[in-house]
Amino acid sequence: MRLTSTSFANDATLPVEFAFGKVASEGHVALSSNRNPHLAWSDVPDGTLSFVVVCHDPDVPSRGDDVNREDREVPHDLPRVDFFHWVLINLPADAREIVAGTHSHGVTPRGKKGPRPDLPVADGVRHGLNDYTGWFAGDADMKGDYYGYDGACPPWNDSIVHRYVFTVYAVDVPRLEIPEHHALTGAQVLAALQGHVLAEAAVTATYSLNPRLAG
C-alpha cells in the first residue's frame, strides 16, 4: 500500500496551517489554522473492508518538569512517549482520500464533537479522542473531549524537532469491534487492530515551536 499527501512531502516540515500552534510574534505560541492535511492511499490489498487512520507524535517528553520553562530546554536525551493527534476508524473500503480541511479547520476550545465526524461519511465512521483531552484536563478554558484531528503543538523549549506520523491501515473487517459507547483512544484502536491489518502505509512530517529549530 502507498500513502501520499499533497499537504507536505514525506519527512519534510509540516506547514503551519496544519498545526495547532505556531511561533508567536509576541510570547511563545499562538493558535494556528489547525487544518487536517490531505492524505491519499493506493495499491490497496484484496480483502480490505475498511480503513483506519492514526496520527501520532512519538517524541513527546515523558516528564513535564522542563516543558515550556523559560530557563531551560527539554533535554534531547529524555525518554519520549506517544501522543495521539488523530484517530479515525471504519472508513469504507472504497475510500482512497481525505481532503485537507474536511475533518478540522481551526482550534475549537473544549474540543470538537464526537465520535462521528461532522462531514457526510458512511455509517459507522467514528472519530476517536486525541490526547489533547488529557493535556487540557486541568485548563478551565480549554478542558473537554477533543475528538478527531488536532495538529502539532510541541513544547516551545524542546531541544528536538518532533515527528508526526500519519498511518493508514487496510483492515479485514468492516468495523473494528469497539463498543459504540466507548470513547476511542489511540491505544484502544491499536489494540483492536491486532490480527486485522492487511497492509499499512505512513508518511511523516516534522515540526518545532522552538525558534532555534523552527528555522
* Predicted TM-score of the model (pTM): 0.94
Distance linking the first and last C-alpha atoms of the chain: 33
**Range 61-90 average pLDDT:** 90
Tell me the sheet residues that pair with 52.
169
Tell me how crowded residue 156 is: count the other CB atoms within 10 A of its CB. Answer: 21
User: What are φ and ψ of residue 168, in 5° steps?
Assistant: -110, 130
- Identify the residue with better confidence: 141 or 64: 141
> Is 54 in contact with 184 (CB distance < 8 Å)?
no
3-class state of residue 133 by DSSP:
helix
Mean pLDDT of the chain: 92
> What class does CATH assign to 2-214?
alpha beta
Q: Which grid coordinates belong to 181?
A: 459507547
For residues 59, 61, 62 and 67, what is the CA-based torsion angle, rounded to 10 degrees? -170
Q: What one-character DSSP code corresponds to residue 187?
A: H
**Chain segment 143-165, per-residue pLDDT in tens:** 999 999 999 999 988 999 999 99
Sheet holding 2-4, edge to edge: 2-4, 39-42, 97-98
Beta strand 197-207 with 12-13 is parallel
Return the pLDDT at 122: 61
What are the tens digits of pLDDT across the range 91-122?
A: 999 999 999 999 999 999 999 887 666 655 56
Give 158's strand partners. 74
